Amino acid sequence: MPSSAMKEIEYLSTELIKNSKPVTYHKFSRELNLSINKSKEILYDYYQKNKLKLTASFIITGLDKEDKRAIKLCSDESQLDENVAKFKSVSVIHVYCLISKDIQLTNSEIAAEEVKYKSDLSLIKTYEKNGIIIGPEIKQEIIKKIDIKQPTAPVIEIKKEQPKKEIKSNRLSSGYVSRKVSAAKPSLSNHYKSRKPSAESASSIPAKRPSTESSKPTLQYKSRKTEQKKPKDRIIVDDNQDDEMEESEVEQKATRTSTNDLAKMFEDEETFEFTDDDEKEQQPPKLESKKEEIPEDVEMNDVEEEDDQLFVTEEEEEEETAQPKEPEMTKEVDEDGYITVRRKPNPVTKPQSKRPPPKKSNKPVNVTKKSDTNNKKQASLMNFFSKK
């Protein structure tokens, strides 16, 4: 007892005097694993012995004059009598918080300090031992989900060592992942959780992606076409109250322990999106120049092949689904040393399934696209003028 008491006193003196932080009974109990009542007692004793240096705030609970249950925080011992007078019957007065007399804190600053000591769901048993109400039992499967946090802690360490950008992209995998980043850094794929629920396909990505994706970075921008092809999927996913989000999020959650890390990642999100946007903006010219190289009288099949390939190299999802269907692949090494994987044209099935994109790419793409956008702009401009 004396030795542990020493520890508590030491904690109080460092925290209160040295660090000039407020100490509430709640924080004290959580930090030193003390029972709630014990922590209130120790705080009160400590306050009695150090009245000159400390201010104590108190909690009064009881019934007020209108017979309503009331909880009153009394910021100073001197106001205690005055506040007790407002009660019809007092059930308890206990110490709430000690603060060094040298500092002045607003209530919201004390609250901000309290918020830092948040509950950890894996420590519920400890809290119960320390005196909170014992709640309904948490179902086994939920406990498992909570417990997953611990074993995967090392994974986080690895992530931390990586450059920030990677973490960011990892964070975003629930929404949008820059394909550039993920392609350039295949190591990331270990952490990438496929948006598709199946775990097997996800595990197959790391092997394939580096060779396919990095081979044709300039073509990546064409993802729009794949998106065009799969708009329904996306909408449904969103609409269904993001069931898939739940899965992937929970999985991700499991690989992260510290919520502080989480918060940091959040903060970085904006900048990340920004850079990604930049990439996007830089991409279109590349795409166009690439397109211009294609002669106008290119045969349908060629274009298709080009297109198919784009789909293959494009998005991980697309890749996963597309690859099993198409076993025939040819590998080429181009002058830059990139390995290009080409799918052999499959005229029977492919043109049917992918008809819409070829139609567009049949004609000089950049011309039509431009005129399209121009038309739109003009139309909206006209509207604007006609209104006024």
With contact defined as beta carbons under 8 Å apart, do 171 and 274 qualify? no
Per rule CB under 8 A, is residue 232 in the interface with another protein? no
Query: Which one of residues 31, 32, 61, 362 is an interface residue with another protein (CB under 8 A)?
Result: 61
Site string for another protein, 123-162 (x = CB under 8 A): -x--xx--xxxxxx-xx--x--xx----------------
Report the alpha-carbon distance of residue 355 to residue 348 in Å, rounded: 12
Least distance to another protein, CB of residue 381, Å = 13
- Strand ranges inside 216-289, DSSP E: none
Per rule CB under 8 A, is residue 245 in the interface with another protein? yes
The stretch near another protein (CB under 8 A) out of 241-249, 303-311, 332-340, 361-369 is 241-249
Per rule CB under 8 A, is residue 64 in the interface with another protein? yes
Report the alpha-carbon distance of residue 277 to residue 274 in Å, rounded: 5
- Residue nearer to another protein on the CB measure, 18 or 388: 388
Per rule CB under 8 A, is residue 239 in the interface with another protein? yes
Secondary structure element (H or E) that encloses residue 130, with its range: none
Least distance to another protein, CB of residue 118, Å = 5
Site string for another protein, 275-304 (x = CB under 8 A): ------------------------------
DSSP state of 63: E
Query: Which one of residues 104, 115, 281, 297 is an interface residue with another protein (CB under 8 A)?
Result: 115
Per rule CB under 8 A, is residue 72 in the interface with another protein? yes
User: Residue 60: which residues within 8 A CB-CB, separation 6 or more?
Assistant: 70, 71, 72, 74, 80, 83, 84, 87, 90, 92, 93
With contact defined as beta carbons under 8 Å apart, do 62 and 92 qualify? yes
Per rule CB under 8 A, is residue 242 in the interface with another protein? yes
Per rule CB under 8 A, is residue 5 in the interface with another protein? no
Per rule CB under 8 A, is residue 329 in the interface with another protein? no
- Residue nearer to another protein on the CB measure, 18 or 139: 139
Q: Degrees (nearest 5) of the Cα angle 38, 110, 83?
A: 75
Report the alpha-carbon distance of residue 11 to residue 5 in Å, rounded: 10
Tokens of 92: 């308890």
Least distance to another protein, CB of residue 336, Å = 40
User: Residue 147: which residues within 8 A CB-CB, separation 6 or more?
Assistant: 122
Least distance to another protein, CB of residue 128, Å = 8
Report the alpha-carbon distance of residue 170 to residue 309 in Å, rounded: 26
Per rule CB under 8 A, is residue 110 in the interface with another protein? yes
The stretch near another protein (CB under 8 A) out of 30-38, 192-200, 277-285, 311-319 is 30-38
Report the alpha-carbon distance of residue 130 to residue 243 in Å, rounded: 37
Per rule CB under 8 A, is residue 382 in the interface with another protein? no
User: Residue 63: which residues within 8 A CB-CB, separation 6 or more?
Assistant: 69, 70, 87, 88, 89, 91
- Residue nearer to another protein on the CB measure, 199 or 262: 262
DSSP-based three-state secondary structure for 283: helix
Query: Which one of residues 153, 207, 263, 382 is an interface residue with another protein (CB under 8 A)?
Result: 263
Site string for another protein, 191-230 (x = CB under 8 A): ----------------------------------------
Cα–chain center distance at 288: 35
Name the CA radius of gyration of the chain, rounded. Answer: 31
**Which residues is 59 bridged to in the sheet?**
73, 94
User: Residue 76: which residues within 8 A CB-CB, separation 6 or more?
Assistant: 55, 56, 57
Least distance to another protein, CB of residue 37, Å = 4
Query: Which one of residues 19, 107, 282, 371 is an interface residue with another protein (CB under 8 A)?
Result: 107
Q: How many CA atoms lie within 13 A of 31 on its CB side?
A: 18
With contact defined as beta carbons under 8 Å apart, do 268 and 275 qualify? no
Q: Which residues bind another protein (CB under 8 A)?
A: 25-26, 29, 35-37, 40-41, 44, 58-59, 61, 64, 68-73, 75, 91-95, 107-112, 114-115, 118-119, 121, 124, 127-128, 131-136, 138-139, 142, 145-146, 174, 236, 239-242, 245-246, 249-250, 253, 259, 262-263, 266, 387
